[in-house]
Structure 1
Amino acid sequence: MTTHTDDVKGFDVVVIGGGINGTSAARELTAAGYSVLLAEQADLANGASSRSSRILHCGLRYFETQHPVRTFARSPTRFLAAVRMAKAAMESREELVRLQPERCKPFTMCFPLWRGDDIRSWHLDIGFALLGRLGPPSPPLDYRRVVDLERDIPFVADLRDRSRLTSVATYREYMIDWPDRICVDNALEAERNGAILRLFTRAALRERTSDGDWIVDLSARSGASEIVRAKVILNLAGSWIDNVRPVGQMANRPLVQGTKGAHIVVRLPDRYQGYGVATLHRGGMPFYCLPLEGDRFYFGPTETLFDDDADKARPTVEDVDFLLGEANHLLPGLSLQRKDVEFTWAGVRPLTFDPDQPMGRRTREIHDLTARGMPHVLAMTAGPVQSHMSAGRELHNAVARLLPASGRRVVVSQAPSRRVAAPGDCRAALAETYKTAVLHEHARDLCGILRTRTGHAWGRHVDRDVVDHAAQSVANLLGWSPEQTSKEVDDFLRHQSRHFPKGHAA
């Protein structure tokens, strides 16, 4: 079928996917003078971007494995890949802390070391010496090994195997406060630079024209449809990357291998304030206790293969039991139970498919899909939240090799995002925040307001009164009748219970 394109609006680039890498790419491309349309099948930060572990780590995790010396000696290629990823982590850590300090919350990570365990103190000494050489000097790692545990580690009495505990390595880490909001701010910056945002809109590749442009069908959830053309397509759909291909084209070998990570949120005593804990769980994978907000901390992640639709990923009974088991193995003094779990979440990491690595390859990669019958289509896999800035630049450079910008370069803003009213603020201030989310930030439902754009319903369950106030605040703006408003409240509470259940309801 040939599409007549004389009256079809054209763009330099169509970005498919409104997660952290899609919005970062749109921001970089518009700043460089490209005309961009960003299409997202749901809301911004709908997938892995909002369901990650939210840690801005220094890169140590890439060396955390059972028997590290033996493992890397047997596979120098794996060691070199770990070095590259650790270097990228250190660089992204510096960049994010420097440019978006309001999004980076520092804390002291503690890595307990036990006599006879696979991870030895000298392993960490070497690891941090290497990290210090790989990355910028600021922000500092503040690495040291604590031996006076009673004096310097306030929760030491909760740790397992006290008789074998020889020391605790401490170092500075950061939590990424609210990746969802970073996606929103990136998208709004791209829009100010001229990008067109099409949220709740599915993009489908139809065909290429005789002059090499792609015809893209846009189908909005509202029922509206649109046809656009683009010279380059960026497929940044995360876990859904393999679903983006021309109509009728058979599936190739997958680009993405999904692995599910689940987390549980609990309240911990004051002695944990300002601290986190890192270790390897009994299966040999990294396991953390991380500060969320106030006295709320979370344990995770799990790591299991997941080949279903990422929208269906949610914490299971088995996930919660596993995480509680590992938390109590690490910190038996807490004696955590299911009733202590106030919130859970799960997301799917879109790692790079590799038949030789069943759990997927963690290296960030850009794929040119020409050999798959999709020239001028690029995809990215395994792009973590913390390195989204460099991912945006790398994607811009990849586009620039295919196409010059049609417009002028503009200055990319590094201004902090707007202030969002906190849950404890007065109802009038909260109402204004909710209205702003709708009027200026493309929110169209209560999930987009209470989670993505304000964070009020992240890490905690909110009650009906909070949800009803948000709904009443925006009902007129969204054209909701009283009946529709009530339904939206019910739908949000049902979604909260199903996708972020408490421990007893998982």
Structure 2
Amino acid sequence: MAADYDLLVIGGGINGVGIARDAAGRGVSVLLAEMGDLAGATSSASTKLIHGGLRYLEYYEFNLVRKALKEREVLWRAAPHIAWPLRFILPHHKDLRPAWLLRVGLFLYDHLGGRKLLPATETVRLDTAPYSQGLKKLFQKGFEYSDCWVDDARLVVLNARDAAERGATIVTRTKCTGARRDGDLWRVDLKDLASGETRTVTANVLVNAAGPWVADTLQEVAGANESAAIRLVKGSHIIVPRLFDHDRCFIFQNGDGRIVFAIPYETDFTLVGTTDVDFDGDLANVAISRDEIAYLCEAVSEYLEKPVSPEDVVSTFSGVRPLYDDGAKDAKAATRDYVLELDGGEAKPAILSVYGGKITTYRKLAEQSLKKLEPFLAFKTGRWTADAPLPGGGFNVMAFDAQVAALQEDYPFLNARHATRLIRLYGTDARALLGQAKSVTDLGRSFGHSLYEAEVRWLVEREWARSAEDVLWRRTKLGLRFDEEEAAGLDAFVSGLLADEAGAAA
């Protein structure tokens, strides 16, 4: 009997959607089931960097760093609307790592990963403008190097969109409640958490990309007796009013051996993170602790003339990383590389479980996952994602400003800030979103802060948004600007759209 799907992916984080996209592009029939929202957990709680991980060099993770560094420009080219280069300032702290060690590390960082477009490391003076702004005078020397930024949640959604456009079926608010082997097939029970309805589908192969729930899914859903050791590590961030006027980011060393980033964020804010804390709590309720807030404030205040206090924090977010447990004593030293475990060897039906990984290496993880699944799936094509843009990303990486200017020329009622926000989120798809609008009133109801009905409808109809939270915190970052009353109005509108959608389907 033929299966309903060649491949069923459990989990709509970056690894799950990356695998679904790659497989769909190779002609595989795919169903991806996510029990919450896309990027609803770990994948929207990263530091939002495409980077090699400078500090991983200290743990001799050269292969991981090289692999990640090579992906920086690949992902930048694929999604120049949601990814862009950043310059990081690493101040030399005389009581911590010596300057020669920092230079050696940055030399390796420059040369391990085939850098072509990103500028090289430079030594800079921190006691002159613009870098001196806000820094304590005792920090006079530093190093400036390159990495990239990415909107992590949008990276997930765009991979899901591309997978869907290539034939994959993506369902959210749908929980996998059971999976059992039936001959050469999997029979998988899926529960729609909105309606309560359950259906059963069949698949040739399962991929368990459930993130922090990976072990639970393998044991409780698929009935496996054992799984790889997993270490849950919580990482938390704080957001404060913007600390610097310039566009440079800072990477600050701490006395405990960790580092903390301070990155310009959403124009008016600074993002500070992250922590590394072993986690054994409720995965449905992950939140920053008072101790973590105090730690991050103290870490950046070590370098700043004006200290940052917990009272300055305007928002926070936390996520739990499902790291492969390599036996490291401290959470900060646990490997960030991924491990792919194929249950049962070559026996059918197969299930592949994904442990660990980073946003930066998700595409390579997907390629290697499909390589492991070659004995069980019939691919029509080979590897293809390295040169394929994500939706909205089909333009030159150096042409972002030109995209904004062209959008304003075509839609002159958009001010520069609104046009920039639309290109940052949707790239070349911004025109499809705006359609035939001739004035701002043609965009429909205004929810405030440049969010209009046309954009909300796009997010509900094209990007699986099902609540104001989905719209404000994952599809956009406008949650930083909306008050409770504005968010409630948006939530009611989204609920109305979904009710209309359900009525039409009935």
TM-score by length of 2: 0.81
- Partner deviation per Cα, 1:146-166 (whole Å, 9 max, x = no partner): 2x433254335523xx44x45
Amino acid of the structure 1 residue aligned with 2:280: D
Query: Is the Cα–Cα contact under 8 Å of residues 211 and 322 in structure 2 kept in the other structure?
Result: yes
- Partner deviation per Cα, 1:127-154 (whole Å, 9 max, x = no partner): 22222331113223421112x4332543
Amino acid of the structure 1 residue aligned with 2:87: T
Question: Does 2:11 align with 1:11?
Answer: no
Aligned residues: 446
Q: How far apart, CA to CA, are the structure 1 residues paired with 2:141 and 2:222?
A: 60
Distance 1:436 1:351, change over 3 A: same
Q: How far apart, CA to CA, are the structure 2 residues paired with 1:401 and 1:320?
A: 48
Q: How far apart, CA to CA, are the structure 1 residues paired with 2:242 and 2:328?
A: 40
Distance 1:448 1:257, change over 3 A: same
Distance 1:114 1:399, change over 3 A: same
Q: Within 5 Å, give how 1:311-322 maps onto structure 2.
A: 311-322=284-295
Question: Does 2:119 align with 1:125?
Answer: no
Q: CA deviation at 1:124?
A: 2.2
Match of 1:403 among 377, 389, 403: 377
Amino acid of the structure 1 residue aligned with 2:483: D
Q: CA deviation at 1:206?
A: 3.0
Q: CA deviation at 1:265?
A: 0.8
Please name the residue that 2:142 is paired with.
168
- Partner deviation per Cα, 1:16-75 (whole Å, 9 max, x = no partner): 000111111100000001011101111100111000111122431212x5xxxxxxxxxx
Q: CA deviation at 1:391?
A: 1.9
Q: Within 5 Å, give how 1:77-226 maps onto structure 2.
A: 78-79=59-60, 82-115=61-94, 117-146=95-124, 148-155=125-132, 158-159=135-136, 162-163=137-138, 165=139, 167-176=141-150, 178-210=151-183, 212-221=184-193, 222-226=195-199
Q: The residue matched to 2:114 in structure 1 has which SS? A: coil
Match of 1:261 among 226, 235, 243: 235
Query: Is the Cα–Cα contact under 8 Å of residues 12 and 406 in structure 1 kept in the other structure?
Result: no
Q: How far apart, CA to CA, are the structure 2 residues paired with 1:374 and 1:344?
A: 44
Distance 1:37 1:368, change over 3 A: same
Q: How far apart, CA to CA, are the structure 1 residues paired with 2:365 and 2:321?
A: 16
Question: Does 2:209 align with 1:236?
Answer: yes
Q: How far apart, CA to CA, are the structure 2 residues paired with 1:24 and 1:193?
A: 13
Distance 1:231 1:241, change over 3 A: same
- Partner deviation per Cα, 1:377-436 (whole Å, 9 max, x = no partner): 111111111222222222222222332237999995544243378xxx875461111112
Question: Does 2:490 align with 1:470?
Answer: yes
- Partner deviation per Cα, 1:185-229 (whole Å, 9 max, x = no partner): 11121112111122111114432112x211111111021111111
Q: CA deviation at 1:358?
A: 5.4
Q: How far apart, CA to CA, are the structure 1 residues paired with 2:348 and 2:280?
A: 24
Please name the residue that 1:443 is paired with.
465
Q: The residue matched to 2:471 in structure 1 has which SS? A: helix
Q: How far apart, CA to CA, are the structure 2 residues paired with 1:248 and 1:228?
A: 14
Amino acid of the structure 1 residue aligned with 2:8: V
**Larger mean Cα displacement after TM superposition, 397-406 or 321-330:** 397-406
Amino acid of the structure 2 residue aligned with 1:363: D
Distance 1:168 1:414, change over 3 A: same
CA RMSD of aligned residues (A): 2.8
Q: CA deviation at 1:241?
A: 0.2
Amino acid of the structure 2 residue aligned with 1:150: D
Q: How far apart, CA to CA, are the structure 1 residues paired with 2:117 and 2:71?
A: 11
Match of 2:24 among 30, 46, 58: 30
Q: How far apart, CA to CA, are the structure 1 residues paired with 2:166 and 2:316?
A: 37
Please name the residue that 2:315 is paired with.
343
Query: Is the Cα–Cα contact under 8 Å of residues 292 and 298 in structure 1 kept in the other structure?
Result: yes
- Partner deviation per Cα, 1:456-495 (whole Å, 9 max, x = no partner): 22xx252134314423443432228xxxxxxxxxxxxxxx
Query: Is the Cα–Cα contact under 8 Å of residues 12 and 405 in structure 1 kept in the other structure?
Result: no
Please name the residue that 1:453 is paired with.
475
Q: How far apart, CA to CA, are the structure 2 residues paired with 1:114 and 1:413?
A: 41
Distance 1:158 1:128, change over 3 A: closer
Amino acid of the structure 2 residue aligned with 1:98: R
Q: Within 5 Å, give how 1:42-61 maps onto structure 2.
A: 42-61=36-55
Amino acid of the structure 2 residue aligned with 1:55: L
TM-score by length of 1: 0.81
Query: Is the Cα–Cα contact under 8 Å of residues 264 and 343 in structure 1 kept in the other structure?
Result: yes
Gaps of 5+ in 2: 393-425, 435-439, 501-506
Amino acid of the structure 2 residue aligned with 1:241: V
Query: Is the Cα–Cα contact under 8 Å of residues 44 and 183 in structure 1 kept in the other structure?
Result: yes
Please name the residue that 1:282 is paired with.
255
Query: Is the Cα–Cα contact under 8 Å of residues 437 and 453 in structure 1 kept in the other structure?
Result: yes
Query: Is the Cα–Cα contact under 8 Å of residues 235 and 378 in structure 1 kept in the other structure?
Result: yes
Amino acid of the structure 1 residue aligned with 2:99: S
Amino acid of the structure 1 residue aligned with 2:499: G
Please name the residue that 1:388 is paired with.
362
Q: The residue matched to 2:255 in structure 1 has which SS? A: coil
Distance 1:391 1:461, change over 3 A: same
Amino acid of the structure 1 residue aligned with 2:459: A
Q: How far apart, CA to CA, are the structure 1 residues paired with 2:368 and 2:222?
A: 31
Please name the residue that 2:396 is paired with.
none
**Larger mean Cα displacement after TM superposition, 338-347 or 407-416:** 407-416
Q: How far apart, CA to CA, are the structure 1 residues paired with 2:383 and 2:200?
A: 27
Q: The residue matched to 1:448 in structure 2 has which SS? A: helix
Query: Is the Cα–Cα contact under 8 Å of residues 434 and 473 in structure 1 kept in the other structure?
Result: no
Q: How far apart, CA to CA, are the structure 2 residues paired with 1:284 and 1:402?
A: 44
Please name the residue that 1:41 is paired with.
35
Q: CA deviation at 1:114?
A: 2.7
Q: How far apart, CA to CA, are the structure 2 residues paired with 1:114 and 1:9?
A: 60
Query: Is the Cα–Cα contact under 8 Å of residues 204 and 218 in structure 1 kept in the other structure?
Result: yes
Q: How far apart, CA to CA, are the structure 2 residues paired with 1:277 and 1:410?
A: 35
